[in-house]
Amino acid sequence: MNILDWIGYVFGYVIYFGYQISGAYVIGLILFTIVVKLVMLPMSLNQQRTNAKQARIQPKIRELQEIYRNNPTRLQEEQQALYARENISLFGGCLPMLIQLPVIFGLYRAIMNPLTNVLHLSVDKVNKLIELSGVEVGKNGYIQSEIINLFPKIRDQVEAAGIFTANELAKLEQVSDGAFTLFGLNLLEMPSWSSLLLLIPVCCFISSMAMTLLTMKNTAAAEQSGCAKWTTPVMMSALTTWLAFSVPGAVGLYWIIQNLVGMVERALLNKFYNGDIMEAADEAGRYARRELEEQKVMERFANVDIRAAAQRLKERTDAEAAEKMSEKNAKTASIYDSIDAKNVIVVNNNNNDRVIKTGNVARAGGSKSKKKKK
């Protein structure tokens, strides 16, 4: 048994439990969808927070794009720094999407092999049943679904062959008697243009569009306009619709149920985790951290005389300022002392020294001095 069959085998218990308490396979699918949503709720909350933060910083992103439009490398660096400051992970919203892939594949296995994964019949007994039914193996991947549809016609042969116990025969009779039917539609068959099962791909497209638009409402994609805003929902919905034509109607029904439950979940998350609330929460967090840091500082200096410390700080600052001023004056004096002595003429007249500034001295001290009269 490979990993996908194992996942489908486990999922089959949830689906069968819903079927047992309601008698309808659809109820099993709804129960399974709710269980999956509850298990993934923490990751959905993280994805919602990431989307809200990304939507909130879009004005800053556009500002950076305008400033560094000619420098892609610097733009990337600044954007990464912005994401780091805002504590935003670029891959924070990808994990739930990646986890959904094995869920979908596991469910696909559960629906593709309902006898072994939902009813949990042994593989050997199912192979004997296929051999007894005469259904061509390898014709498609849904041979067990064909066996369920064919079982009312070969029930007596199966009982005569003694392949299954009475309890197992009762299970086969239950699932073949409308358990996989919804409004008269056989969910084990493939949708086609000539069948009413066409409604399932159509509903897949509508629900997928609604789900995608609701998801984009509180994300960075909401800032887009024109064709870019509609490209993602249309492409995703078209892909889901195409896949719904390629699988049994039960898989497409699961996607519809998942979208409906997901829209309820998304509406609640958008109400309690929108951009404004996230910004307020971030601001409250920053304020709390600042108060905590201030409290730590106060505790550290609880026994310190603040007035005395402030006076010591003032004295030290004044001393450093006086020392810098003294160094500046000494440097200025040394500049004048180094001036070429030949540019200074001292005239002695009646014991009164008069200085005549010439050359560099005149340029350093102003205009050329003239001889003073007594």
The pLDDT tens digits of the residues spanning 134-192 come to 777 655 567 887 788 788 888 888 888 888 888 888 888 888 877 777 787 888 778 88
The distance from CA 287 to its chain's CA centroid, rounded to whole angstroms, is 25
More confident residue, 54 or 322: 322
- C-alpha torsion angle, residues 195, 196, 202, 206 (rounded to 10): -170
Predicted confidence band at 229 (pLDDT cuts at 50, 70, 90)? low
d(CA 48, CA 54): 10
Q: What is the per-residue pLDDT for 163?
A: 86
105-140 pLDDT tens trace: 777 777 778 888 888 888 898 888 888 887 776 555
Q: What residues pair up with 100 in beta bridges, in sequence order? A: none
More confident residue, 109 or 202: 202
CA-to-CA separations, 90 to 63, 213, 217, 224, 273, in angstroms, rounded? 19, 21, 19, 18, 18
Q: What is the per-residue pLDDT for 353?
A: 46
Q: Give the three-state DSSP class for 139.
A: coil
The average confidence (pLDDT) of the chain is 76
Q: What is the per-residue pLDDT for 224?
A: 52
d(CA 148, CA 146): 5
CA nearest neighbour of 205 among 258, 230, 242: 242
Please indicate, yes or no, whether the overall pTM of this predicted structure exceeds 0.85: no
Q: Residue 364 pLDDT > 60, yes or no?
A: no
In degrees and rounded to multiples of 5, residue 189 shows phi and psi of -95, 165
DSSP tag of 186? E
Q: Residue 312 pLDDT > 70, yes or no?
A: yes
29-48 pLDDT tens trace: 788 778 878 877 777 777 77
Q: What is the per-residue pLDDT for 336?
A: 61
DSSP tag of 270? H
More confident residue, 91 or 339: 91
**Angle at the Cα of 361 from the Cα atoms of 355 and 366, rounded to 5 degrees:** 90
Neighbouring C-beta atoms of residue 80, cutoff 10 Å: 11
* Kind of pairing between the strands at 344-349 and 352-357: antiparallel
251-297 pLDDT tens trace: 788 888 888 888 888 888 777 766 667 667 767 777 788 888 878 87
d(CA 345, CA 262): 98
Angle formed by the axes of helices 249-272 and 41-56, nearest 10°: 60
The encoded tokens of residue 160 equal 């005569």
| C-alpha dihedral sign at 279, 285, 287, 290 | negative
Spatial neighbors of 7 by CB under 8 A, at least 6 apart, are: 102, 103, 105, 106, 109
Q: Name the one residue in this structure whose structure tokens are 């218990």.
A: 13
Break the chain into its structural domains and give their ranges: 3-272, 304-338, 340-374
Predicted confidence band at 202 (pLDDT cuts at 50, 70, 90)? very high
CA nearest neighbour of 256 among 211, 203, 190, 198: 203
203-220 pLDDT tens trace: 999 998 888 887 776 555
Q: What is the largest CA-CA distance in the chain?
A: 151
Q: Residue 372 pLDDT > 50, yes or no?
A: no
Q: What is the per-residue pLDDT for 367?
A: 44
In degrees and rounded to multiples of 5, residue 347 shows phi and psi of -110, 125
Spatial neighbors of 168 by CB under 8 A, at least 6 apart, are: 119, 121, 125
More confident residue, 37 or 355: 37
